[in-house]
């Protein structure tokens, strides 16, 4: 009943306030805290100035002005102060040619559970013969993991057991030293 009274009494002000609050209500608690902190910094800056804000919050002038600009451009929407993704807009593509994958797959089929360190010299010689660019050891490791996930080469670090009670297959990974075993 109180809400109806407030809405009718403060017609435009109440609706504006509710839009203001609902703008950030769907965010997580952590993101809301970041938004409230940024609002607090902006209000403190408007009241006490730059030096006091730098001492109190350790936030630079350009940061404060960028927050104010975001608020102004969005028309006062608090959601504009939310954290944005810091991931790069264009990530670098992996330069692996299909010949690399085919060679690694064939090599691992002939020589099971051979490491990336062993594959590297053979792959370099193969790339030199064909005339394509070589790849690093870490990239070879990524290709091996990708081939395992796609089921093109077997994963030799799995132990398969049958559950005696249910009869279902369990796949247990061999644990490296210092880590716990993973079950699928």
Q: What tens digit of pLDDT does each residue of 44-57 get?
A: 999 999 999 999 99
| Among candidate residues 91, 71, 98, 94, the one with its CA nearest the CA of residue 82 | 71
Per-residue pLDDT, averaged over 74-91, amounts to 88
For residue 2, pLDDT over 70 is answered with no
Domain presence at residue 35: yes
71 found inside a domain: yes
The number of domains in the chain is: 2
Phi/psi of residue 26, each to 5°?
A: -85, -5
Q: Mean of the pLDDT values across residues 2-28?
A: 64
pLDDT of residue 143 exceeding 70: yes
Q: Are residues 121 and 148 in the same domain?
A: yes
Question: Does some domain include residue 93?
Answer: no
Q: Is the same domain home to 60 and 126?
A: no
| Residue 15 structural domain | 2-81
Residue 28's pLDDT band (boundaries 50, 70, 90)?
A: confident
Query: Would you say residue 110 lies in a domain?
Result: yes
Phi and psi at residue 148, to the nearest 5°: -65, -45
Residues 110 and 141 in one domain: yes
Is 161 inside a domain boundary?
A: no
Average pLDDT for the chain: 83
Residue 80 DSSP symbol: G
Residues 17 and 68 in one domain: yes
Residue 87 lies inside a defined structural domain of this protein? no
**pLDDT score of 104 more than 70:** yes
Which H or E run contains 24? Answer: helix 11-25
Contact between 116 and 141 (Cβ < 8 Å)? yes
What's the pLDDT score for residue 25? 80
Report the percent of the chain where pLDDT is more than 90.
42
């Amino acid at each position: 009943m109180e809400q109806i009274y407030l809405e009718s009494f403060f017609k435009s002000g109440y609706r504006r306030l509710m839009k203001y609050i609902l703008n950030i209500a769907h965010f997580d608690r952590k993101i809301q805290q970041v938004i409230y902190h940024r609002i607090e910094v902006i209000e403190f800056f408007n009241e006490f100035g730059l030096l006091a804000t730098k001492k109190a919050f350790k936030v630079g002038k350009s940061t404060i002005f960028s927050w104010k600009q975001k608020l102004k451009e969005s028309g006062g929407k608090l959601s504009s102060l939310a954290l944005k993704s810091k991931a790069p807009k264009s990530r670098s593509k992996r330069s692996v040619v299909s010949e690399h994958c085919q060679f690694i797959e064939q090599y691992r089929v002939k020589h099971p559970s051979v490491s990336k360190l062993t594959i590297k010299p053979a792959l370099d010689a193969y790339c030199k013969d064909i005339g394509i660019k070589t790849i690093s050891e870490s990239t070879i490791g990524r290709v091996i993991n990708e081939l395992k996930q796609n089921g093109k080469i077997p994963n030799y670090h799995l132990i398969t057991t049958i559950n005696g009670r249910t009869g279902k297959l369990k796949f247990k990974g061999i644990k490296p030293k210092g880590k716990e075993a993973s079950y699928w």
